[in-house]
Structure formats: structure tokens, C-alpha cells
Structure 1
Amino acid sequence: MVGIASSSSEGPSTQQPRSTARATTLGILAALAGLMFGLDTGVVAGALPFIATDFHAGDALQGWIVSSMMAGATVGSLFAGRISVRFGRTGAMLGAAILFLLGTLLCALAPGPAIMIVGRLFLGLAVGVAAFAAPLYISEITVESVRGAMISFYQLMVSLGIFLAFVSDSLLASGGHWRWMLGVMALPASFFLGIVLILPHSPRWLMMRGEKERARRVLQSLRSDEEVAEAELVDIQSRLQKSSDAGLGLFRSNPNFRRTVFLGMLLQIMQQLSGINALLYYAPRVFQAAHFGTNASIWATTLVGLTNMALTGVAIACVDRWGRRPLLILSCGIAAFSLAGVGTLLAIGAQSFGLQLLLCGFVLLFVAGFAIGEGPLVWTLCSEVQPTRGRDFGIGCSTVTNWAANWAISNMFPLGMAMMGASSTFLMFAVFNGLFILVTVLFVPETKGVSLERLEANLFAGTRLRDLGR
């Protein structure tokens, strides 16, 4: 599962700014980009069986229909930073909103698989840009005391979008109305487009453009005190003067920074090898392999979305209590155990009602395990371990890696199911989750309660990765 990351982890100001209801409201509205992300991620699962029938799509073509969105998102994430710098965070979200609407209409009206793939590419471009710009916008308009909660809300919106897409698919499945499944997404896309048009530019972007007075007016509307707003404006200006595009240069010159960049990329690859997106995109097909009927498999998929959404909330509540490493190890252990159960049941043939319920239980347990750790914590760690000067570069590398790995796995999964069989495929994912435990033990630091300054100092002092939080 794809997640999000904020590039704002700047140290606290000497002031203690307080947010206004307007700032909170704007943050929530921007987080609707996460809802669009989730809707377009989840909707294809229920629609794919009917699309495959109407278009006579084999395993390879189904893989391209699903994975074309990830290919578009990979390209979108490569250019998202430049777009958000040139046109602003709201400008980037506006472009994404237009692409969301255009891609939705192309998919719903597609006369054949070629236009469907083009529409999915447009949706992917939108996702790649929005997944960068929206969290960054939220981080730049909210104060530090609520920033974590607001970005976590974005993650919840992604999970909510996936769940709502599964519900919509389930309601329309009885008639096989896949065009309605895809076309109904035009409603939230249009709503998001209207919302973006009323969002003001972020103060930091306006300062980057040299528009100090406009930035001051926006900040004054977002903070409860004019003096606090002025102090924050000065703070932004001083940070912009100190910052430089040191990411690539730092990567070339500093081996310690290269360690965290490669760690972030490794974590993203392992997240994709957990099998979560293969399950989210092809859940009805997995349940059909266990002899569920078409409608029953789509309703079972809805339970997957509900579990993912609910347990993401649990992760947000527990991460600062339990710590990153214990929660991540627990998550990987649950995922490995449950996928081994799925693979075993598929091997013996879950034809009885009791075994089908047990298989469904194992699938839901896997999703729960992923949602409490491997999903949100990978993005948290990728942001925390990167030093200030290289944070944008490091997060950018991990984001592109996530989408590229997502594309590869979603593209190859149908062929893997056909060549290896469903059982062997999920047993392979179980092994990958077991390896993820080893990666966590050997390389992942505990960052709970550790300042970003301390993590950065330890990194450049040559401390080994797993001890960066000491």
C-alpha cells in the first residue's frame, strides 16, 4: 500500500503558534486528495472481473490495466516536486484534480482496453502529484502541535477511500455494472476539483516566490495571533535563506546520507513485497480461487477495506506508545503467519464453507497486521531518518521506489497466480514478510521520542543505522 510523507520536519520555532479553525478546515479539505487516492486504488478490484469478461482480457492484459495507474504515479511522483515549486501546492493539486476527472471519464467510457489503460495512466499521474502536494500543503499550513495528526488524517482518508470504493463495487456487482463502478468516481473528483479552487497558496510557497505580503495575509488568517504569525513568517524566511538544493550533492559526497536513502528505498520495496497491493487490487480474484462466488468475493473484499481503515486508526494511536520497531516486527510477524495460512488453505482447496470462512479470516488478519505497521510506519521512518538538507531528495527517492515496485508487483501478480498458482504466490509473500522482520532487526532504528536533530547527528557521526535513535 502506498502511503504519504511530509517533507516538513523543521525544528520548532521559539514561539508556540496556535492554529485556527480555518487552518484545520483547510487541512481537512486538502486531505480529500487522499480520499481520491484511495477511491481510485480500490475501485479496480471489484470492476476488474467484469472488465476482463467484456474486453476478453487475459492475465497479462489485466495486469496492464491495473498496473498502468502505478506507472503513471511513478512518472507523476518524479515531476511532482518541480510542479509544486513552479505552480504551488494548490496549483499541483488543481492539475491532479483535473486529471482525476479526465481519467475517470476515460475509464468509464472506454470502448476497449487501450483507452482504459490511458485513463488509468491519467489517474496515476494525478495520484503521483497529489500524494506529494497535498501532505506538503497540509504540513505548511498547520502548526507543529497538530501536524502529525493532520497528516495521519490524510492516511485515514486514503483507507476510507479504498473502503468506500469496495462498498460501491459491492452494491453494483449484482448487475456487473463496471462502467458505473468507475464512472461514479467522477462525483468525488468534481467535488475535489471545486475544493481545490478555494484553497489559498501556502505561506511558505508564497515566500519562496518573494510574495511576502501575500504570505503574511495568509498566515494571519491561519494563526490565532498576529505576533505569532509574524514570528513564523520571519522563521520561514530565515529557513529559506539557509536551505539549498543539497540533496543530490549530499548523496554523492556523503556515504552516511547514502545509507538512509538506501534504507528508505529498501523499506519501500519490502512494503510492496508484503503482498498488500496484490491483495487490494486482485482481492475478488483471490477469493474466487477459494471458490467464493463473484458477488460473495466482492463483498468479502469490502471487509478487507473496512479492516484496513479501522486498523490504520489503531496504528496512529499506538505508534508513539509502543515505538516503531516493536510495532513493525509485530506487523511483519502477523502478516507472515496469516499469508502462510492463506497459502496453505489455497493448496488444500478451501471448498467447504468452514474453510472459506477461515481463509477469509486469514486474509483479514493479514490486512490488520499490515495496517498496524508495514503500511504507515514505513512512510514515517522514511521521513524521520533523512537529514534536513537531504530530506526532499531522500523522500523523493523512496516515493519513486514505492511506485515503481508497486507497478512491477501489480503487473506481475496475475501472471504469477497463473504460472505458480495462488497457493505458491501467497506462500512466497509470507516468506518476504519473514525477511522483513530480519531487515527491521538489523537496520531499522527506534525513533520514538528522539529528536530529528539527534537522529541527524548520529547519522553523520557514522552510527550504525539501527542505533540512530540512541
Structure 2
Amino acid sequence: MQEAIVSMALAGAIIGAAVGGWINDRFGRKKAIVFADTLFFIGSAVMGGAPNPSVLIVGRVFVGLGVGMASMASPLYISEASPTRVRGALVSLNGFLITGGQFLSYLINLAFTKARGTWRWMLGVAAVPALIQIILMSTLPESPRWLFRKGREEEGKAILRKIYSPHEVEAEINTLRESVEMEIRKHRKNQHSDNVENTNCEKSPTIVQLAGFASNRTALLLLFGVVFSLVVLTVVFHQSTTHSPMFSPIETSHFNNTCPDYHTSVNPGAWDCTKCLKASPECGFCASSANKLLPGACLISNVTTKDQCHIEERLWYTRGCPSKFGWLAIVGLALYIIFFSPGMGTVPWVVNSEIYPLRYRGICGGMASTSNWVSNLIVAQSFLSLTQAIGTAWTFMIFIFITVAAIIFVIILVPETKGLPMEEVEKMLERNSLNFKFWQRSSRNGEQVPAQKTESI
């Protein structure tokens, strides 16, 4: 039941991200965000007042739909309704605020642990920010790029004049108009050609540079940090497993409540805390009263045994074993969050909000967001099973291999678009070549120029 309650939000996010692309293109970015907020508000209210687990699951689905839809609509709206020079920075800021919101949610949940109806407040309070955003979105304009695409140029121009300074706005209007007209001409031409264009995520002249600090070079540097933090976690959990406190028959007999699996073990002399916990979910480890790293007792796991262990001021373990390396696991986890949040946690959203043709931006952004939530669901459903089957250290080792594969993918296939004029990005993408020298770009005359010397548009 717990797995179902957790998973339904992710399943809802997959559906929300999948249909969110169509809603974005059909009704606009602003309405898509408001719709996502409405789903989130309904879901939070349903969860807060759920009379049984089934209704709670329904609420989780609604919340998931809203999260999935907002996850691709928000960066898309921000990228299209913000000035070019700060576009990447603002999309990245969105990712930072999501991470900050997650941290804030832990503090809020902590505050409600002592309140009546604890979990109802924890789940129901999420309706408040959704309602606030619904109200605030009414004061914001629609995406000018979407308006241009829909033929509502005058509305788009009015919004652009509020976004850009007087000496920039005309150039932006002309660029956007030419971009949309070129896409429309190309789309009509392909409709009448023998080689009809499929609705895919091709790249076209609508691509604009990524502003701010977001770039694939930034993501690569931070990806290496992710690998380092995962290596730390792998080593720590391996050391904790191979150097866990030994089983003490004397300590165990003190409680007269020995884990039954110990008596049937083939090699009881090799038992330690790790073997005790892996033997059966019904077994727990009571650490030594002198030092938690000294040999302890392997006992039947129940409330009575746990209380007996605590009465003697011992530590009781059922999920992991005592380790002198435990603090390193916290450091490794903190490093992972530090490297992931500004890197792969934000940069892909910037890229996906910029790199697609305007007419396919919503659909392709939805596809990318859907793949993200599918991956989340896979990890959520497999992590505990993997740790039980192969151990925590080997589970993190799998994540290391995946991250290394991501680094190779970025180096070879993801182009660097920061600081590039649109026409140069277009040529680079149309060549569809491998990008091993991702730190360099080709100038118009074919010479290699350093990335930091390329001017912004």
C-alpha cells in the first residue's frame, strides 16, 4: 500500500507530462500552468481529507498530474517570456527553487509532526502554494512566442515591449516574426512535398542561445562531481557492510530472544550485524552498551525487544548497521545534492526549453519531461529491491555507470549553444555531427575560437 501511494504520484506525473505538451501548444503556456496548479490544489485537498487509502491514492494521482504538467510548462513559459540575456539563469533559478522547496517541505512536515492529524496537514498544506500561484498567474502575460505562433502578433508585441528595453524590442520583434514565418513556410512546404515531415523533435532556426551560466560544459563539470559523490557513497556503504560489528553469543543470550535464523545458520561463527539484518526482516541488531562498534546481539525484531534494547541505553538497528564511516555517507549525499541540483537538475530543463522548433516545443518538451518522470518511477520502484538483492554499495555503483554514460552522451551528442548566434547553432545542428571538442565552436570563417570569446546575442 505504501508503494502504491508513493508510485501513483509518479505515474500521474508521467501522464501529466505526456499530455502537458499538447495542452501547452493548444491553449498556451500560461493556461497550462494554471491548469496544473488547479490539479495540484484539488489533489492536495483530496489527500488532506482522504477517509481511506483508496481516496488518498486518487489525490496522489491528481497531484502527480499537476506536477508532471508543471515540470515542463514552467521552464517553457519562463524561457519564452523572459529577456534573452537572463533566460538561462531564470530557468536555472526555477530548478534551484524547486530544490529549495523540497527542503522547505521537510521543515514544514517536521513542524506538523506534533499536530493533530499529522499527515493530513502535511499533504493538505500543499494546496496553499498552488492557490497562491493560480492567483499570481492572473497578473502575468501569455508567452509572446506562443502568441506569435497563433497569429496574435499585436498581443505578443505589447508583451515584448514590457519585457525588453525600447532599443531592444524592435530587433526582438523582427527576429521572432522571421523565426515564426520561416517555420510556417517550412511546415507548409513539407506538407506538400513527397517527403512529408514527421512530427519529431528536429532542430531549426528557432533555436536561441542559452543565456546565463547554464551550458553543457557546466553540466559536465557538475556531472563529474555527481560521479565523485556516488563513489563516496559506494565506498562508505561497502565499508559499512564489510566492517559491521560482529555477532556476540554472550550479548545475545543476555536477552534470551535470539533471531531464529541464527540457530539454523550453516556458519554462525561468521555472523555480524549485516548478516543478522539480511537473514530475515524479523531480525534486528542491538548494539553493545559499551561501544556501538563492538560485538552486539542479533534478536527477534519486535516492539518488546526494541524497548529492552533502549532501556539499557543501547542502539537498535533494523535497516543498517553501526559504522564509523556513517558521517561520510551524509557528506556524500550532501555533495550529490550540491552537484546535481545546479547541474543535471536544472541544465536539461534549460536545454529542453530552448532547443526545439517553436511549433514542436510543447510536444517535445512533454516527451522529455515524460522520460524524466518514467526514470523517476523506475528508480523509486527498484531502489529498495536492488539494495536488498545486491546491497546498497552495488546499487550506487549502477548509478555511477549510468552517470558515466550520461557524461559520454553529453560530450558526444549535446551541442554547446551558450553564446552562439542562432544561424551558427542552426548550422552546427543541421550537420548532425559528433561534438567531441565541446569546448570549442566554429566561427563563420571556419576558424576555431574559444567559447568565452563568443559574443552573446
Q: Write the distance in 2 (CA, Å) between the matches of 1:232 and 1:150.
A: 18
Q: Does 1:199 align with 2:169?
A: no
Is the CA contact 1:110–1:116 (under 8 Å) kept in the aligned structure 2? yes
Q: Which of 370, 374, 398 is 1:428 aligned to? A: 398
Q: What is the CA-CA distance between 1:381 and the residue it aligns to? A: 4.9
The equivalent of 2:221 in structure 1 is 327
Per-residue CA distance 1:175-212 (angstroms, 9 max, x = gap): 68222111221221221121122223233333344334
The equivalent of 2:20 in structure 1 is 80
SS, match of residue 198 in structure 1: coil
- Relative distance call for 1:465 and 1:156 in structure 2 (3 A) is same
Q: What is the CA-CA distance between 1:458 and the residue it aligns to? A: 2.8
Q: Write the distance in 1 (CA, Å) between the matches of 2:159 and 2:223.
A: 43
Per-residue CA distance 1:142-177 (angstroms, 9 max, x = gap): 221222222222112111111111111233345682
Q: Write the distance in 2 (CA, Å) between the matches of 1:363 and 1:351.
A: 18
Is the CA contact 1:324–1:448 (under 8 Å) kept in the aligned structure 2? no
- Relative distance call for 1:202 and 1:366 in structure 2 (3 A) is closer
Q: What is the CA-CA distance between 1:452 and the residue it aligns to? A: 4.9
Greater mean deviation of Cα atoms: 329-338 or 164-173: 329-338
Q: What is the CA-CA distance between 1:453 and the residue it aligns to? A: 3.5
The equivalent of 1:135 in structure 2 is 75
Is the CA contact 1:332–1:369 (under 8 Å) kept in the aligned structure 2? yes
Q: Write the distance in 2 (CA, Å) between the matches of 1:367 and 1:378.
A: 16
Q: Write the distance in 2 (CA, Å) between the matches of 1:202 and 1:416.
A: 44
Greater mean deviation of Cα atoms: 382-391 or 131-140: 382-391
SS, match of residue 243 in structure 1: helix
- Relative distance call for 1:258 and 1:418 in structure 2 (3 A) is same
Q: What is the CA-CA distance between 1:319 and the residue it aligns to? A: 5.2
Q: Write the distance in 2 (CA, Å) between the matches of 1:388 and 1:207.
A: 10
Q: Does 1:180 align with 2:121?
A: yes
The equivalent of 2:304 in structure 1 is none
Q: Does 1:155 align with 2:125?
A: no
Q: Write the distance in 1 (CA, Å) between the matches of 2:180 and 2:414.
A: 31
Q: Does 1:408 align with 2:378?
A: yes
1:371-382 matched pairs, under 5 angstroms: 371-382=341-352
Q: Does 1:344 align with 2:314?
A: no
- Relative distance call for 1:453 and 1:136 in structure 2 (3 A) is same
Based on CA coordinates, which of the two structures has the bigger radius of gyration? 2
Q: What is the CA-CA distance between 1:390 and the residue it aligns to? A: 6.4
Instruction: Look up the equivalent residue of 1:189 and give its one-letter code.
Output: A
SS, match of residue 433 in structure 2: coil
The equivalent of 1:93 in structure 2 is 33
Q: What is the CA-CA distance between 1:68 and the residue it aligns to? A: 1.8
Instruction: Look up the equivalent residue of 1:217 and give its one-letter code.
Output: A
TM-score, length-scaled by structure 1: 0.63
Per-residue CA distance 1:260-290 (angstroms, 9 max, x = gap): 9xxxxxxxxxxxxxxxxxxxxxxxxxxxxxx
- Relative distance call for 1:236 and 1:136 in structure 2 (3 A) is same
Q: Write the distance in 2 (CA, Å) between the matches of 1:73 and 1:103.
A: 12
Greater mean deviation of Cα atoms: 340-349 or 180-189: 340-349
The equivalent of 1:461 in structure 2 is 431
Q: What is the CA-CA distance between 1:362 and the residue it aligns to? A: 2.0
Q: Write the distance in 1 (CA, Å) between the matches of 2:323 and 2:110.
A: 21
Q: Does 1:103 align with 2:43?
A: yes
Q: Write the distance in 1 (CA, Å) between the matches of 2:173 and 2:420.
A: 27
The equivalent of 1:119 in structure 2 is 59
Q: Write the distance in 1 (CA, Å) between the matches of 2:212 and 2:81.
A: 23
Is the CA contact 1:336–1:433 (under 8 Å) kept in the aligned structure 2? no
Q: What is the CA-CA distance between 1:231 and the residue it aligns to? A: 5.1
Could you tell me which runs of 5 or more consecutive residues in structure 2 were left unpaired when the two chains were aligned: 204-210, 245-319, 442-457
Q: Write the distance in 1 (CA, Å) between the matches of 2:350 and 2:25.
A: 23
Q: Which of 315, 331, 342 is 1:361 aligned to? A: 331
SS, match of residue 141 in structure 2: coil
TM-score, length-scaled by structure 2: 0.65
Q: How many pairs were matched up?
A: 352
Q: What is the CA-CA distance between 1:411 and the residue it aligns to? A: 2.5
Instruction: Look up the equivalent residue of 1:355 and give its one-letter code.
Output: F
Is the CA contact 1:341–1:362 (under 8 Å) kept in the aligned structure 2? no
Q: What is the CA-CA distance between 1:330 and the residue it aligns to? A: 2.0
Q: Write the distance in 2 (CA, Å) between the matches of 1:202 and 1:436.
A: 32
Instruction: Look up the equivalent residue of 1:219 and give its one-letter code.
Output: L
The equivalent of 2:107 in structure 1 is 167
Q: Write the distance in 2 (CA, Å) between the matches of 1:145 and 1:317.
A: 7
Instruction: Look up the equivalent residue of 2:386 and give its one-letter code.
Output: G
Is the CA contact 1:337–1:430 (under 8 Å) kept in the aligned structure 2? yes
Q: What is the CA-CA distance between 1:99 and the residue it aligns to? A: 0.7
RMSD of aligned residue pairs (Cα, Å): 3.8
Q: Write the distance in 2 (CA, Å) between the matches of 1:318 and 1:202.
A: 23
Q: Does 1:63 align with 2:3?
A: yes
Per-residue CA distance 1:113-139 (angstroms, 9 max, x = gap): 322222121112112222222222222
Q: Write the distance in 1 (CA, Å) between the matches of 2:201 and 2:142.
A: 33
Greater mean deviation of Cα atoms: 227-236 or 103-112: 227-236
- Relative distance call for 1:437 and 1:69 in structure 2 (3 A) is same
Q: Write the distance in 2 (CA, Å) between the matches of 1:385 and 1:391.
A: 8
Is the CA contact 1:206–1:214 (under 8 Å) kept in the aligned structure 2? yes
More helix by share: 1
SS, match of residue 323 in structure 1: helix
Per-residue CA distance 1:362-383 (angstroms, 9 max, x = gap): 2212222323533233444556
Identity over the aligned pairs, expressed in percent?
31
Q: What is the CA-CA distance between 1:233 and the residue it aligns to? A: 3.8
Q: What is the CA-CA distance between 1:73 and the residue it aligns to? A: 1.7
Could you tell me which runs of 5 or more consecutive residues in structure 1 were left unpaired when the two chains were aligned: 1-60, 261-315
SS, match of residue 373 in structure 1: coil
Is the CA contact 1:62–1:414 (under 8 Å) kept in the aligned structure 2? no
- Relative distance call for 1:431 and 1:229 in structure 2 (3 A) is closer
The equivalent of 2:86 in structure 1 is 146
The equivalent of 1:283 in structure 2 is none
The equivalent of 1:217 in structure 2 is 158
Q: Write the distance in 2 (CA, Å) between the matches of 1:452 and 1:233.
A: 15
- Relative distance call for 1:179 and 1:131 in structure 2 (3 A) is same
- Relative distance call for 1:105 and 1:420 in structure 2 (3 A) is farther
Q: What is the CA-CA distance between 1:107 and the residue it aligns to? A: 1.7
Q: Write the distance in 2 (CA, Å) between the matches of 1:446 and 1:205.
A: 25
